[in-house]
Structure 1
Amino acid sequence: MTNAAPIQEKEKRFHLIKEPDPYGKWSFIDKLFFSKKVVSLSADGSADKVIVKKRSLGLIWFLLFVAIFVVCISLFITFPSNPDLGNLFYIIGEMFQPCYKFSTYGEYFNYMWTTAVPELGNTIAMVFVATVIGCIISIPLFMLSSKNVVKTPWIYAPIRFILDIIRTVPTFALAMIMVAIVGYNNTAGIISMIFFTAGIMYKMEYEFCDTRDMAPYEAALSVGSNKIQAFSNGLWPQILPNFLSNCLYTFEISIRGSIILGYVGAGGIGKLLSDASDMMYWDEVGAIVIPIFVVTLVLQLLSNYVRRKVQ
């Protein structure tokens, strides 16, 4: 009981808005965040005792979100005055028939099987290598970033800060930097996807690690195991299913992301797609997009199935 008053006083210091006097005059802000509740009445029917209750902030946050959304639309979004949807359907129709680069369907499908599909296979191999390396690199990163494993804030906090800064760099920009360093080849794309994969995996896994039951980990430490041994025996079995599931998820989204890297010359089928779209060869674009769509759909279904089994 002796500590109740100091604790309450300490909590009041952190209120952003001071609680108003229940019997005084209320401002608009007071009415927005607080409400009055009559506890008892006097003999003449007037309020004898009134308490102040905080209103739920859900509606306030929702209205604030709507206001920001409306402001962003009105100030920063430019809507086309006369969109030509007919042109969209015209281009889609030309993507599935020989009309620009190809003269016959034989040439169309021959290009698809001899050029687009092999290049898509190279892209998948590139993403697979980058995903494996990125996931392996993320293991020590999320271990050092977890406050459940590394108890010292001056160790895990700077590591999180540095890695979060790296994560803010767009993969597109990383690819351009890598192209400037290693040239126009698959290596630039692989290195960029490694950064992308490691950044996603580190973030998801350290947050997951911070919510795990630490009793097995602490028990391993208490019997003389070092932190690596305790992590391997007490914490890693809890993390592994989620880790594998996130690896598959990262691989799946990296397939789609890697196509964009081709636009900066970082390798993969995106380079073919970039060249074809720049020349407005819509039939060639279609011959490239069809295998991308089919393979991406199959990989997504397979990934979802494996992730369900792993979890």
Structure 2
Amino acid sequence: MRLETKFLIPGMQIAQPIMAPTGQIFLEQGMILTIRDIKRLAQWGIARVNVVLPANFDPSMLPCFLTDRETVELVAAAFEEEPIFGKIPLAEFRELAGTYRELMMDVLGVVDYLSQLRAHNHYTFRHAIDVASISGLIGRWLGYTGEKLKDLILAGLLHDIGKIGIPLEILNKPGKLTVKEMCVVKQHSCYGYDLLKRLKVTSDAVNCSILQHHERLDGSGYPFGLSKDKISVFARIIAIADIYDAMTSERVYRRKKSPVSVMKTIAGDMHDKLDTGICITFLANTRDYLTTNSGFAR
């Protein structure tokens, strides 16, 4: 059962691994909660935890009790609660809605970590939804269907899941990050990859793209400085979606840029850092909507 942290009681058993801010698993599945554990969970800002309750426990006594299915519905609804109609074609986005709902029902374990991400940092959660949407559209434009499209959307949704291991004072810092702080942020792709490998609920293609989505074809990316065909296709797609959404979003440390301006930035990187073919597909389809203004609503 999924309970709000404030309702946890010493002696309850952890039903799913919980990550510490360092990115390491602090509470393993099956561990018994102590008072110290509960205090630390609250300090980390983890809003809800999956626990195994005693047979005689009555969940109706907890007003904020959420079942797994309700959690799925909350996350699935996020795709529609604040849609990015100013950035992507409305009609095609709606066509993908059924895929998102189906996806949510298939990855119950992962949804819990998305809930943690939302509690940890709302921008990162919102960004995850947007990148999944844009990645899904690019996939459709490239002819992806079925499981391949679902895996791409899932990879986009989880590309920053490792940021639940990054301290909030760094994620929310209004000014420029120090070299040390930037090194901490750059660990999020490794944190996310390690987390999903341990959970064993996502495919190798999804896990690999989460690890590589900040790599660049010219070897200038991180965490390993991979280049060219050593970077997965999913990671190349998510890289473009990630850049587009991040630059067209308002942040505490900078103003958002217009879609046209960001498209020029992507076009400038399409011959060295980003995949040329995917960029052309993305820019051509997006430009059609921007120039005709027929597919967007605000």
TM-score in same-fold range (> 0.5): no
Q: Which has the higher contact order (CA 8 A, sep 6+)?
A: 1
TM-score under structure 1 length normalisation: 0.22
- Larger fraction in helix: 1
TM-score under structure 2 length normalisation: 0.22
